[in-house]
Chains A and B, each alone.
Chain A
Amino acid sequence: MSPSLQQFLNKQDPGGTFSSLCILPKATQCEALESGEKIVMLLRRHIATNLWWILLAFFLIFVPLFLPLLPVISLLPANYLFVLILFWYALVIAFAFEQFVMWFFSVNIVTDDRVIDVDFYGLLFKHVSVADLDKIEDVNYFQKGVLGSFFNFGDVLIQTAAEITEFVFEEAPNPDRVTKILSELIQEEKKEKMKGQIT
């Protein structure tokens, strides 16, 4: 990575472990990385996209208060009600945890050489796509909806000349900043290639 690019990246807000946009994240490794490859940017969906399940989990916490109002439930002995409430809270915790890890681990990684898209679908299904930076032809983004405009997130579209012709960083935070960093990296990669530094 050239000093000017390094300087440009150092000026960016690095973000924390739970941020949806981390620049040069520390102590972070991905199994898809090759030796010597460095993570430049790690993206998740904007944190505001988690609002729906946080609110839902919050409301589900209060559901047991209304259980005795149901005729069938009100006839159950206390020990049955106790187990039912315990089970309910176990389900709510599991739901919230599942949603959180899905958000946390479904990432888009930009390294100094490649773009890696890791998606998890439900339990035990994952999809990993990779494209070289020098194969990227065009990067653009679009923002949609009220939430996207309000919280400043949108989809970053990456057109490539590789087998997978399009990458989408869905609901990425600060899409303008992401696009700018990606463009800088692509330019750098193309310059290096022209200089014949890449074998």
Chain B
Amino acid sequence: MIDTIVNSGFLFAVKTFLLVLLSLFVVFSAIVVRQVQLMNNVLTVPVSGGFKFISFALLVFAIGVFLVALVTL
């Protein structure tokens, strides 16, 4: 059954779909980093650095998931 699915190109379609979605998610995460920078400019609070760190961590995570997908799929 799985062989049939692989031969039919289903997995290739899923892989392409996932990679496109993940690349869009990387772009979205980069926008979130910029958004948090803008928000920190508007309102500066003692925890501003923490928000910046989390947004960067999210971007790194998004890039990491994209690379994992690229290597393992």
**Chain A interface residues (CB < 8 Å from chain B):** 17-18, 25-32, 75-77, 79-80, 82-84, 86-87, 90-91, 93-94, 97-98, 101, 104-105, 107, 118, 120, 123-124, 126, 128
Contacts and interface: CB of A to CB of B under 8 A. Distances in A.
A120 B39 contact: yes
Given A77-B2, A79-B72, A124-B31, A87 B42 contact: no
A30 B43 CA distance: 5
B interface SS class: helix
Interface residues of B, number: 37
Contacts of B15: 80
Chain B CB count within 10 A is highest, among A17, A18, A87, for A87
Contacts of A32: 42
B33 to A, nearest CB: 11
Contact of B45 (A17, A31, A82): A17
B73 A126 contact: no
Contacts of B31: 123-124
B41 interface: yes
B42 A80 contact: no
Nearest to A83: B69
B68 A97 contact: no
Contact of B32 (A30, A31, A80, A94): A94
Interface of B: 1-2, 5, 11, 14-15, 18, 21-22, 25, 28-29, 31-32, 34-36, 38-39, 41-47, 51, 54-55, 58, 61-62, 65, 68-69, 72-73
Contacts of B28: 94
B42 A118 contact: yes
A66 B41 CA distance: 42
Going nearest first, the 5 A-B pairs with the smallest beta carbon separation are A105-B39, A29-B44, A79-B72, A83-B69, A86-B65
B25 A101 contact: no
Chain B CB count within 10 A is highest, among A18, A32, A124, for A124
B14 A76 contact: yes
Given A77-B2, A87-B22, A118 B38 contact: no
B22 to A, nearest CB: 6
Given A83-B65, A83-B69, A83-B72, A97 B54 contact: yes
Contact of B14 (A30, A80, A105): A80
